[in-house]
Chain A
Amino acid sequence: MAFVTANWNPLGDAFYRKVELYEMGWSLKDGLRECLVAAAPYGGPIALLKEPQRRSPSARPQLEIYSSSGVTMASFVWKSGVVKQLGWTVCDDLLCIQEDGTILIYDLFGNFKRHFSMGNEVGQSQVLEAKVIHSPYGTGVAIVTGASRFTLATNIDDLKLRRLPEVPGLQGAPPCWAVLTQDRQSKVLVANGADIFILDNAVCTPVNPPGLSPQATSIVHMCVSFSYKYLALFTDSGHVWMGSTDLKEKLSEVDTKVRNTPKQMAWCRRPKSREPSVVIMWDRHLLVAGVCKDTIPYHLDDDSVLVPELDGVRIVNGTHHELLQEVPAACEEIFKIASMAPGALLLEALKEYEKESQKADEYLREIKEQNLLGEAVRQCVEAAGHEQEAETQKTLLRAASFGKCFLSNFSPEPQVCMCRDLRVLNAVRDYTVGIPLTHMQFRQMTVRVLIDRLVYRKLYPLAIEICRYLKTPEYQGVSRVLKHWACCKVQQKEEADENIARAISLKLGEAAGISYSEIATKAYECGRTELAIKLLEFEPRSGEQVPLLLKIKRSQLALSKAIESGDTDLVYTVVTYLKNEMNRGDFFMTLRNQPVALSLYRQFCKHQEQDTLKDLFNQDDDHQELGNFYVKASYQEKKLEARIGLLQSAVDEYNKAKNEFAAKVTEEEMRLLRFQRRLEEEKGECLLGFSLHDTISTLLSLGLHKHAEQLYKEFRVPDKRYWWLKLTALAEKEDWEELEKFAKSKKSPIGYLPFVEVCVKRQNKYEAKKYVSKVTLDQKVKAHLSVGDLEGAADAAIERRNEGEIGAVLSRCSPATDRALVERLNRAKATAAKK
């Protein structure tokens, strides 16, 4: 604690510090000499391609992958072509860019994933130099070939090669170049002598850095800041020019007094940086050149590599791993010697308090008097986030809580979050994990990405721990990790399907929102179809199961899964697929075993393929449905014979189905049609398609009584109905004579009330009255009432001593009615009621 400032160096108004992150776990004989090195940002992995010890044609280089702390993750002999450049993708995959333009992709553990080429024309001219770039669009690659042409791919996962325009006068490799992302476009900045050009898709534009010192005759090195906003140029005169990447603004120019070409150069700044700088590295010499023109020299013991980060530069050499950064404001305020900042005072107060000294109170008072206690707490919390040492973090957080005790209404949220974040950061910074993230980087990359990184490293337990600790929603956190674990598990070739499936279901069983189908797809891709099927069993979302099952040609299973889901659209999809894939017989057989699918397919056929529908019924010997099918089809026919033909088929089927009734009535229908046709021919009356009822009715109204009679007998129409029918038809025709004849023809099976009513309905009370006397006693009152004969109704009702009927008659009486009649009714009603 006491020596917090020991490694601080002033630069302008700020300080820079170099903090050791790790003592490297690797043991490299020659350090990083003769090595091609690629270290991923955000504390990512480091890849080394070591040139062989013996210089013999058969000797092969060794490719090694380490964590940031130098723990070996993979190591193997490089057997492919000559590698020009290594780089890491945003997903922690290693890109090996070969001389011939082929790029090979390996995972963190050195497993080959895939390869692609930067274009055919690269082949002859060969790649001279290459750079891997990161942008919001993913990981990109830029190369320059022996023909001095640049080719750019912005996103290797969606490969679109862009050949950039020629640079005038450029021969061979350019002295230096850089890729930047501007206006949603990747561009190449290239120097040739003292000239600088910007290459975009279409044109090569010469540019002039404003105020570049005139002594320079050529630009020998350049670098772009992490954010692509700033550019630094190193000239042969030993000057560093710093400015914006749009080359509109010059920030500064510093004379380094070193004319050698630097080995590497990197911007060292942070968001809201007070004193940004450029770090320039030569063989054994490192110089921090501030925009303020101050410099800090460092001596290097060993070959080193600079890794630019969002908020600093990491320096890796054969034995150590350090972070060089501007001291964050909060840390400076607190730890600067003799600082009187509120945070510093609060820290003092805590120290005194722990010593049980009353000075604690004095310090506190001093802060409180200035009303800065809140600020003090905030400073301590923030500073804690910037410190690497757990002890320092703890002290600062303790100071913050101590200060908070004297504040009311102060949100604990920032401090709680910071504690939580730091716990996670300390866990991943641990030597065994080796991800030296700063708090700022962590915030920028998000928990989600950190979890991904851990998953890529197969650090599943730690990832799950972190998810649980940060209370990440299950489906974003734990479930996702488990899914990756399972995807990894299915690749274990030596384990039996059974065991893997069991292990996976055991571990994932309780987790929510697991996509088993993704795991199964992975298994299928690894050639383990059986395992894939087993895993699919666990997938609760049938919508997800079905497509994969179809893909692996388990269509029957897909069908039953689709049915299980209840999603009929899914069933239809599988059925359509099966229909195209199988021969008709098998297809029908399959459906037969799946009634749900069968009925859905029937529905489909009903609307789309009538003929297939018939075949389906045929195959099932479903004669009843076949009968219905023919009946339905018969109505589509315009020709009588065709219709009758189809009806005959229906009769046959109904007979086969032992549905006598249906067969009989269908035969009846045929008979009726024939009769109607005959009638049409004889009488010219078009009755085709009429129902039996309507046919008879029409015949009667036409006066064709004989024909009507014939149908009545032939179709065995019940007497009652026939009487109603004839009655209605005659009344409608107002053929009262015929009606009377009909009434007298024999005793009416429907009584005579309908006769009365029918006449009344036709406003013929005179005719109606003829039938009143024939009406049976129990309907007499009603009959009298319908013809408006109150007296008759009254007599009938009184005679029958029926209270209800008497009431009905009474209700029809009006003030105009004979008083005597009303009284009579009332009396009778009273007597009837007594009974």
Chain B
Amino acid sequence: MAAHLSYGRVNLNILREAARKELREFLDKCAGSKAIVWDEYLTGPFGLIAQYSLLKEHEVEKMFTLKGGRVPPADVKNIIFFVRPRLELMDIIAENVISEEKLPAPREAHILFVPRRSLLCEQRLKEQGVLNSFTNIDEYILDLIPYDGDLLSMESESAFRECYLENDQTSLFHTAKGLMTLQALYGTIPQIFGKGECARHVANMMLRMKREFAGSQNQILPVFDTLLLLDRNVDLLTPLATQLTYEGLIDEIYGITNGYVKLPPEKFAQKKPGEGGKDLPTEPKKLQLNSAEELYAEIRDKNFNAVGAALSKKAKIISAAFEERHNAKTVGEIKNFVSQLPHMQAARSSLANHTSVAELIKDITTSESFFDNLTVEQEFMTGVDTDKINTYIEDCIAQKDPLIKILRLVCMQSVCNNGLKQKVLDYYKREILQTYGYEHILTLNNLEKVGLLKPQTTTRNNYPTIRKTLKLWMEDANEQNPNDISYVYSGYAPLSVRLTQVLARPGWRSIEEVLKMLPGPHFEERQQLPSGLHKKRKGPVSNMYHFEFAGQQGENRTTLVFFLGGVTYAEIAALRFLSQMEDGGTEYIIATTKLINGTSWVKSLMDRPEAQIL
């Protein structure tokens, strides 16, 4: 079912299996038939852990969405609420339970909190007088969800907003807990590096929790050598830029949620002879995107401009494979051919799908507006006229282009200019408010609070220094056969990934100055391995500044890079590129609170009061 999780250097299927086991154990605790009432938000993430079949095996007969009133009738013994620990949800549950108890034969109620029990919520249930109505109150610790062979996500939509806007560090606590779970399964990670306030906070909690768990230490040979914690606000620029990898563009344009994308159906119409293709499907086409699909794994991280060539090459290989049948003469050869058929057919349908997706995307990337937008982005990233009011932005506002597009551009200009002159900033803000409505003053305020928009306080703009030192702009990015991570944005090398790359070689000491310009502290911590595991490992003698490779040539290191506040597909592609580099010597596993893109990210920071009709 989830074989693709075990292909990588680190077998993430172990984590998934552990999560499934725990789920089964809980379900078995509630003996008899059951119905699950879902906090809707959780269904997506849960889908990555367990399909309906698993639930069914454990006598889950019905599923409902949590809403007020009462749980719909179903002839089951148990009702289980799967919920996040949110007060507003507790009120709904209470309502459900109270109406259930009025029934002649109430069903047994249980709560499963995901990812953690909450005293606050239990208190609320108690106030509502229903706490004792539950046979089981349990927690399902689901922090890091295996998303792909090298990718873990907490699927926590609002993590960035909570941490940087609302100063609510709940998600960081869950991050630390999740990392502890990970270490319990994959061994203690000996080295922790980090950059940013949140990173520091997570590392502190981890070290603290390690003390708490002391004594129950596992004796597992560490799978990860290094953990790198990165605050999203260390690199605010990257998510704002339009991703130019295949997967990145799918996400930018259609949005990937929990590993699935919904696409307009027209291009996927099955051309079956006889039907004449008249009945176009109206339901959006849903595709699952992960490395289980061979072709997708191959092209997902390519610059989109290189995807066409890859697809046509693949098409040739597949048709050549089908041609083979003419050469099959003996019975043995034919049998051999037939045995490969299912695989070939799957490959062919996968090719057809992705050709359609690529066509859809191409229609957009070749449009003038996409080109203009990209041009402006690249001007900002290279530092052209970032201090002036940009005409393109002005025109876009005048034509009332989507607000998020405008916000992404304005924020980008602000970030690339280390803040905007008060006059420029106020001009943009006023334009936005007059065009899109004054209520967006709250959103603008939020963007200022998290630092995406800011007035220039000093005349010194340190972005050019950062850009030059970290080589964030590569003039001659090779999209077809990349030799540098900058290919993922056709020129721009994501700052976050550069930091990761520099840490591996030659070490952060070389960029001390730049690190100081970026927000938050940078640090290194070491975790003592349980005695007995030392000898088996070649101890790399290194510290933050001498992250040396001496004596380790050929010995691959595994680094877990954790993006606190979200990561984009393009950044992931860049890290995968680094993993594959022959002389890289480091394999990267990526973890994050949520997979984001500029649009979903900015959207999460918006405040849109539900206006009453006057």
Contacts and interface: CB of A to CB of B under 8 A. Distances in A.
Interface of A: 473-475, 479, 511-513, 540-541, 564-570, 572-573, 576, 595-596, 599-600, 602-604, 607-608, 624, 628, 631-632, 635-640, 643, 661-662, 665-666, 668-669, 672, 688-693, 715, 717-718, 720-721, 723-725, 728, 750
Contacts of B204: 566
A568 B213 CA distance: 19
Contact of A665 (B397, B400, B433, B611): B433
Interface string B408-451: 00000000000000000010011101111111011001000000
A573 B123 CA distance: 9
Nearest to B168: A603
B225 interface: no
6 contacts: A513-B216, A638-B612, A639-B614, A643-B614, A668-B434, A718-B431
A37 to B, nearest CB: 42
A216 to B, nearest CB: 52
Contacts of A640: 614
A720 B394 contact: yes
Given A567-B173, A599-B167, A665-B429, 13 more contacts: A474-B215, A540-B212, A566-B201, A566-B204, A566-B205, A569-B120, A573-B120, A600-B167, A628-B441, A640-B614, A691-B437, A693-B435, A721-B435
A720 B399 CA distance: 11
A638 B613 contact: yes
Contacts of B363: none
Interface in B257-292: none
Nearest to B445: A628
B168 A599 contact: yes
B485 interface: no
Kindly list the 10 A-B residue pairs having the minimum CB-CB distance in the complex, ordered from nearest. Answer: A512-B215, A513-B215, A724-B398, A599-B167, A475-B215, A691-B437, A669-B438, A635-B609, A693-B435, A512-B214
B385 to A, nearest CB: 17
B293 interface: no
B167 A596 contact: yes
Given A567-B173, A569-B116, A715-B434, A512 B217 contact: yes
A692 B614 contact: no
A731 B435 CA distance: 19
B169 A693 contact: no
Most buried by A among B208, B394, B435, B436: B435
A285 to B, nearest CB: 56
A595 B168 CA distance: 10
A661 B426 contact: yes
Given A565-B208, A572-B120, A628-B445, A665 B430 contact: yes
A275 B429 CA distance: 98
B119 interface: yes
Contacts of A473: 215-216
Contacts of B119: 569-570, 572-573
B602 interface: no
A535 B399 CA distance: 67
Interface of B: 85, 87-88, 116-120, 123, 166-170, 172-173, 176, 201, 204-205, 208, 211-217, 394-395, 397-400, 426, 429-431, 433-439, 441-442, 445, 607, 609-614
Contact of A662 (B213, B435, B441, B609): B441
B610 A635 contact: yes
A665 B172 contact: no
Nearest to A638: B612
Given A512-B217, A513-B215, A721 B441 contact: no
A568 B612 contact: no
Contacts of B438: 665-666, 668-669, 672, 691
B441 A631 contact: yes
A689 B167 contact: no
Contacts of A564: 208
Nearest to B206: A566
A718 to B, nearest CB: 7
A760 to B, nearest CB: 13
Contacts of A475: 215-216
Given A628-B445, A631-B441, A669-B438, A721 B431 contact: yes
A740 B399 CA distance: 19
A479 B439 CA distance: 60
A602 B216 CA distance: 37
A816 B41 CA distance: 57
A572 B85 CA distance: 12
B424 to A, nearest CB: 12
A194 to B, nearest CB: 49
Contacts, number: 148
A253 to B, nearest CB: 49
A576 B123 contact: yes
B420 to A, nearest CB: 13
Contacts of B172: 566
Contact of A725 (B214, B398, B612): B398
Most buried by B among A596, A720, A721: A721
Nearest to A676: B614
A566 B169 contact: yes
Nearest to A716: B430
A600 B435 CA distance: 34
B181 to A, nearest CB: 15
B173 A566 contact: yes
A475 B168 CA distance: 34
A695 B391 CA distance: 23
Nearest to A563: B169
Contacts of B123: 573, 576
Contacts of A635: 439, 609-612
Nearest to A572: B120
Contact of B399 (A479, A513, A666, A728): A728
Most buried by B among A567, A602, A635: A567
Nearest to A629: B442
B511 to A, nearest CB: 29
Contacts of B426: 661
A419 B140 CA distance: 45
B436 A693 contact: yes
Given A689-B613, A691-B436, A692-B434, A666 B441 contact: yes
Contact of A541 (B87, B168, B212, B437): B212
Contacts of B168: 568, 599-600, 603
Given A689-B611, A689-B613, A717-B434, A750 B395 contact: yes
A721 B394 contact: yes
A602 B610 CA distance: 20
A572 B612 CA distance: 32
Contact of A632 (B118, B213, B609): B609
Nearest to A600: B168
Nearest to B120: A572
B439 A568 contact: no
A346 B614 CA distance: 104
Nearest to B167: A599
B229 to A, nearest CB: 14
A482 to B, nearest CB: 11
Contacts of B211: 540
Nearest to B85: A569
Contact of A628 (B88, B395, B442): B442
Contacts of A688: 614
A566 B614 contact: no
A513 B209 CA distance: 11
Contacts of A632: 442, 607, 609
B434 A479 contact: no
Contacts of B85: 569
A665 B429 CA distance: 9
Contacts of B216: 473, 475, 512-513
Contacts of A689: 611, 613-614
A608 B397 contact: no
Contact of B170 (A568, A607, A725): A568
A595 B167 contact: yes
Nearest to A575: B120
Contacts of B441: 628, 631, 662, 665-666
